[in-house]
């Protein structure tokens, strides 16, 4: 499978200009020059959920949706393109994540996800998948209101979902606007990657 073009959106708060200033260098690692800023809704974890839901809308074709604390490997684009040649199609591909449950290798560079992976800092969606998510998931009424956790519990099993191996996207440590304190997910993400994806 080859994706000739895809839309790229980065979710960013007006108050986090520091993060936005780092985005060009991260996009360069993915060899992406055409990307757009999606203005995040301020207000903590609830606002983060609604920002993700809104960012899925109004796009045709494939969408790479990133959070503004994404950090890519320098060889990210090469690994990403290689992984795409190993499948016929997909609903979601995680470019990185915090794996908390067994995953299943299906190709050299892809693992099948069947639930159990957190983080939404870099996910590629098909248009069909986004439309289904918007039909099914309502963050205002859903029993599992947090989008990240809904994907962890429901979405990854419902959709044809993959994780790139090796992971090509991590999260930069720093002040979390959702939690209101300093967060560093790298150690957990990397240790869980080594535990579950070897």
Q: Convert the chain into a string of H (helix), E (strand) and C (coil).
A: CCCCCCEEEEEECCCCHHHHCCHHHHHHHCCCCCCEEEECCCCCHHHHHHHHHHHCCCCCCCEEEEECCEEECCCHHHHHHHHHCCCCCCCEEECCCEECCCCEEEECCEEEECCCEECCCEEEECHHHHHHHHHHCCCCCCCCCCHHHHHHHHHHHHCCEEEECCCCEEECCEECCCCCCEECCHHHHHHHHHHHCC
Q: What is the pTM of this model?
A: 0.92
Distance CA 198, CA 195 (A): 6
107: β partners: 110
- Phi and psi (nearest 5°) for 161? -120, 140
pLDDT of residue 41: 85
Report the pLDDT value the prediction gives residue 183, as an integer from 0 to 100. Answer: 66
Both tokens assigned to 116? 């159990």
What is the set of domains in the chain, with CATH numbers? 7-196 (3.90.550)
Q: Which pLDDT belongs to residue 152? A: 94
Per-residue pLDDT at 2: 64
Per-position pLDDT tens, the chain of length 198: 667 789 999 999 999 999 999 999 999 999 999 999 999 988 776 677 889 889 999 999 999 999 999 999 999 999 999 999 999 999 999 999 999 999 999 999 999 999 999 999 999 999 999 999 999 988 778 778 788 899 999 999 999 999 999 999 999 876 566 555 556 678 888 999 999 997
The encoded tokens of residue 195 equal 């535990």
Dihedral of CA atoms 175, 176, 182, 186 in degrees, nearest 10, equals: -110
Give me the pLDDT at residue 123, please: 98
């Amino acid at each position: 499978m080859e994706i000739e073009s895809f839309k790229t959106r980065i979710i960013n708060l007006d108050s986090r200009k520091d993060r936005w200033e780092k985005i060009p260098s991260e996009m360069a690692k993915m060899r992406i020059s055409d990307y757009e800023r999606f203005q995040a809704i301020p207000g903590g974890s609830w606002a983060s959920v609604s920002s993700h839901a809104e960012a899925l809308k109004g796009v045709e074709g494939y969408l790479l949706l990133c959070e503004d604390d994404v950090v890519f490997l320098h060889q990210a684009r090469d690994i990403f393109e290689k992984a795409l040649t190993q499948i016929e199609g997909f609903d979601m591909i995680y470019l990185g994540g915090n794996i908390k449950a067994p995953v299943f290798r299906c190709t050299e560079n892809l693992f099948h996800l069947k639930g159990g992976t957190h983080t939404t800092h870099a996910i590629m969606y098909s248009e069909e998948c986004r439309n289904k998510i918007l039909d099914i998931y309502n963050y205002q009424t859903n029993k599992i209101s947090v989008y990240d956790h809904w994907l962890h519990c429901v979405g990854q099993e419902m959709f044809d979902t993959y994780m790139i191996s090796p992971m090509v996207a991590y999260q930069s440590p720093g002040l979390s606007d959702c939690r209101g304190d300093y967060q560093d997910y790298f150690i957990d993400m990397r240790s869980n990657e080594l535990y579950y994806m070897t």
